[in-house]
Amino acid sequence: MEKTLIDLHLQKDIHTITGKLTLDIKLSIPEFGFITLFGKSGVGKTTILRMIAGLTTPDSGYITIGKNSWFNKKNKLNLKTQKRNIGFVFQDYALFPNMTVEQHLFYAQTNKDSDHVNDLLNIFDLKGLRNRKPDFLSGGQKQRVAIARALARKPKILLLDEPLSALDSESRVTLQKEIMQAHKSFNATTILVSHDVDEITRLSDQVYVIDNGRIVNSGNAEFIFSDHEPGITFTIPCKIIKVNISSLDIELNETIIQIPQNDSQKYKIGDIVNVSIKSGSIAVEDSSFLC
């Protein structure tokens, strides 16, 4: 049976472009789980992360982490952010221009741990950049530093607020793999805010769909993003990728797409085909295929 790490029930009035909205969120998250908060912009996903981090004060409710209480309105308890064992990665990198990559990681640590810093430099492919400052890093490298820094203090909980939204697709896929490796290696419980269905499907154990201030649906990504699942209405982008068939199995981002036997006679090695990806389902299509 999974052990619950995060148990919370929070209320908070927030102001959106359509007026005031009352967040009323109840979550129970297992230890070492990787969950995603999903929904339209402005529904309060980032506010939930900020309340867990202690950066925003809820109007009422509670946050319990294991056997410890971080927030309880009735008991007038509100643990300071510095005392909450979290790592928070924002959309912007929030790096210090005068610090090297390695200095960022050591700065985040209360108890200096060179072995842990080296592990992070290896996982996020930063070892050769350890002495560089942010002005000499690419966007993807800067985000690697931000995520590694968030993990440097060995947090129980890692909060990711659309950390890859500004990156190109190739960088996103690479960083997603590194995030998952770090999540497993360091036994973090991770909460991600993302609008990217591919990203959510690749990373998440559980997805919580938020609409009108409440959780309206939950389940694994395949269940949530299936075409027949009722709940919040959203648009899933359709991607068309041209693939050169080098064998009758198509390899795409380490996923083997096997052509159905009925269709395999239509193609030969050397053909260029369109591969459509939507909501986790993959199909080989004729060139006339339209999303």
Domain with residue 29: its CATH number is 3.40.50.300
Helix (H) or strand (E) holding 66: none
209 and 259, same domain (yes or no) = no
160 and 44, same domain (yes or no) = yes
Q: Are 178 and 126 in contact (CB under 8 A)?
A: no
178 and 264, same domain (yes or no) = no
Residues 6+ apart with CB under 8 A from 199: 164, 172, 176
81 and 161, same domain (yes or no) = yes
If one counts the domains in the chain, the total is 2
Q: What's the domain range around 267?
A: 239-285
195 and 263, same domain (yes or no) = no
> Is residue 132 a part of any domain in this protein?
no
Of the given ranges (33-37, 154-158, 261-265), which has the lowest mean pLDDT? 261-265
205 and 262, same domain (yes or no) = no
> Is residue 78 a part of any domain in this protein?
yes
- Bridge partner list, 252: 255
> Is residue 144 a part of any domain in this protein?
no
Of the given ranges (29-38, 226-235, 260-269), which has the lowest mean pLDDT? 226-235
Residues 6+ apart with CB under 8 A from 99: 107, 133, 134
213 and 245, same domain (yes or no) = no
Instruction: List, edge to edge, every strand of the sheet that includes 157-161.
Output: 86-89, 157-161, 189-193, 34-38, 206-211, 214-219
165 and 260, same domain (yes or no) = no
> Is residue 290 a part of any domain in this protein?
no
Summary mean pLDDT of the chain = 83
Which two tokens mark 94?
A: 């929030």
Q: How large is the average pLDDT for residues 171-193?
A: 93
Distance of alpha carbon 163 from the chain centroid = 7
> Is residue 258 a part of any domain in this protein?
yes
40 and 76, same domain (yes or no) = yes
> Is residue 77 a part of any domain in this protein?
yes
Model pLDDT for residues 201-259, shown as the tens digit of each residue: 999 999 999 999 999 999 999 889 875 444 444 443 434 344 444 444 444 444 445 55
> Is residue 146 a part of any domain in this protein?
no
* Helix/strand/coil for 107: helix
Confidence of residue 266 (pLDDT cuts 50, 70, 90): low
161 and 261, same domain (yes or no) = no
> Is residue 123 a part of any domain in this protein?
no
